[in-house]
Chain A
Amino acid sequence: MDIDLLLNSFPKLIVASIITLKLLSASLVIGLFIGLFFAILRVNNNLVLGKFAYGYSYIFRGTPLLVQIFIIYYGFGQVEFIRDSIFWVILKEPYWCAIIAFALNTGAYTSEILRSAFQTINPGLIEAGKSLGINNKIIFYKIQIPIAIRQSLPAYGNEIILMLKGTSLASTVTLMDLTGVAKYIISTTFKPIEVFVVAGSIYLFITFIIHNLIKFFEKKYSFE
């Protein structure tokens, strides 16, 4: 064990974890909106929109994240009309490609989590709202969404942690995130164990924080 290397790589990896956190938070925020949108389509009674939302979630949950990020980054880059379109301004940057892939992926899982939460809401609560003469929109925003979010917190916490580890794939499209910088240090020192131990510990620490945040919110919004 090379203690010097452990200590030297630590500050570099801490700086790199900022990129990891940026990727994680950006894709989670966008993914949450995507997930909410598609979950609403799923619980809606419109059959066509429901099937469309189902198809989206089926495709993005059924293919590896690595394949998705490769298609968006290397795949789209090979298509000439995409390169000539205005989308290229965004797709040219590895950072945005990674965020798009991550957001679409986590969006698919989030939509499933929220859908099941919507469907398990006690119908009595909605009926209570209706009998009080509250209109459907307000029932949805004030009763269904808050309950669904509370119901889905444990599962969503899991998804955040999975996504944190998913961001390590950003290094495959040249981004210098935590894993990317770890690999870079290894390529000059040829000592993988030390560097990956430090990188792994940082991932573990971030997971620890996420885990406790979710626990805090679960308590705060518990029904008791």
Chain B
Amino acid sequence: MNIFKKFGLGLLISLFLTISANADKIRIGTEGAYPPWNSKDASGKLIGFEVELAWALCRYIGQQCIIVEQDWDGMIPALQMRKFDAIMAGMSITDERKKVITFSQGYADEVASLAVMKGSDLEGMDTPEGVNLTLGGSSVNKALKTITGALAGKTVCTQTGTIHQNFLESGDVGKVNVRTYKTQDDVNLDLASGRCDVALAAAVAFTDYAEKSGKPVVLVGPTFSGGAFGNGVGVGLRQASQMGEDSAQGKRDAALLKAFNKAIDQARKDGVISRLAIKHFGFDASM
């Protein structure tokens, strides 16, 4: 056997070993740019609530996991193209997303809020503390009316492809001048620079930014939940029907859904989700 054959064989063996080593691992996709849900530390390591929760859930499932980074705007297509098997990226469970993927039960819930820079004329908006769009009613309608008036003529910034963008474009708050960004970091930067009059995201995304940057970002108006804001954050998974329910891949996807649901049940019972939520959010956002 000459040296090239040896080298080629070695390459093949190592390739085979890598593939078989990864075959039974669960690959979990996250964005790594939405603190405190998921983010990266200075060395580029993925950290945050969902990263730690993912490791915990994998222990309950009893399978090894790999956490994969993926830009938010390609998250769902990447799941469907099997770049990874599950999404844990602060993704809210909404009817729109359910048309193309499926979700485990929710593991955490967190409200959305508008934010401005200190000194904005939107400060001191007269609204109730929280608005649940699913409940509706006259107080909700009145609050939406107040917000519609306040947002008129303002540039409202938000991350692209989020529940927050959906809400702003739903017509609930009139016709809004929406500007969309690839990441929440970019939204924060332009809120601070003054290009955005007001921004909409998860309330903790703003408080986290204000805390870390020292910029005078303040939350205004009510906190939002329900309706366009979905029903909590869950693990996004492929629909078993995507590859055919009887196919090996379809069966694996269906089994993953069951496994994640069970693991979330156990993690909740053991208080793991609450503990991680308090550690990262400062309050118990588990559900």
Contact = CB atoms under 8 A, between A and B. Distances in A.
Contacts of A188: 96, 161
B181 A174 contact: yes
Contacts of B76: 190
Interface in B176-198: 179-182, 186, 189-190, 192-195
B123 interface: no
A192 B193 CA distance: 32
B80 A83 contact: no
Nearest to B186: A74
Interface string A117-154: 00000000000000000000000000000000000000
A187 B194 contact: no
Given A74-B186, A174-B179, A174-B181, A83 B77 contact: no
Contacts of B77: 186, 190-192
B160 A187 contact: yes
Interface residues of B, number: 22
B189 A74 contact: yes
A157 interface: no
A92 B193 CA distance: 9
B193 A187 contact: no
B265 interface: no
A77 B193 CA distance: 5
A221 interface: no
Interface string A164-186: 00000000101000000001101
Contacts of A78: 189, 192-193
B210 to A, nearest CB: 16
Nearest to A192: B77
A188 B161 CA distance: 7
Interface string B145-180: 000000000000100110001000000000000011
Contacts of B195: 77, 92, 94
Contacts of B96: 188
A187 B161 contact: yes
Interface centre among A83, A184, A190 (most CB of B within 10 A): A190
Contacts of B181: 174
B190 A187 contact: no
A172 B73 CA distance: 12
Contacts of A92: 194-195
B160 to A, nearest CB: 5
B9 interface: no
A92 B194 CA distance: 8
B190 A183 contact: no
Interface in A34-84: 74, 77-78, 83
Interface in B82-111: 96, 100
A74 B192 CA distance: 10
Contact of A192 (B74, B190, B194): B74
Contact of B182 (A77, A94, A172, A190): A172
A190 B186 contact: no
A33 to B, nearest CB: 28
Nearest to A78: B193
Given A77-B189, A192-B74, A184 B180 contact: yes
A190 B100 contact: yes
A77 B180 contact: no
Contacts of B190: 74, 77, 174
Contacts of B189: 74, 77-78
Nearest to B178: A174
Contacts of A77: 189-190, 192-195
A67 to B, nearest CB: 15
A209 B160 CA distance: 32
B156 to A, nearest CB: 12
A83 B180 CA distance: 21
A190 B80 contact: yes
Contact of A186 (B73, B186, B192): B73
B160 A83 contact: no
A62 B250 CA distance: 49
Nearest to A82: B193
Given A77-B194, A174-B180, A190-B77, 12 more contacts: A78-B192, A83-B193, A94-B179, A174-B179, A174-B181, A184-B160, A187-B73, A187-B160, A187-B161, A188-B96, A190-B100, A192-B74
Interface of B: 73-74, 76-77, 80, 96, 100, 157, 160-161, 165, 179-182, 186, 189-190, 192-195
4 shortest A-B CB distances, which residue pairs?
A: A187-B161, A77-B193, A190-B76, A174-B179
13 contacts: A77-B190, A77-B193, A77-B195, A78-B192, A174-B180, A174-B190, A183-B73, A184-B160, A186-B73, A186-B77, A190-B76, A190-B77, A190-B100
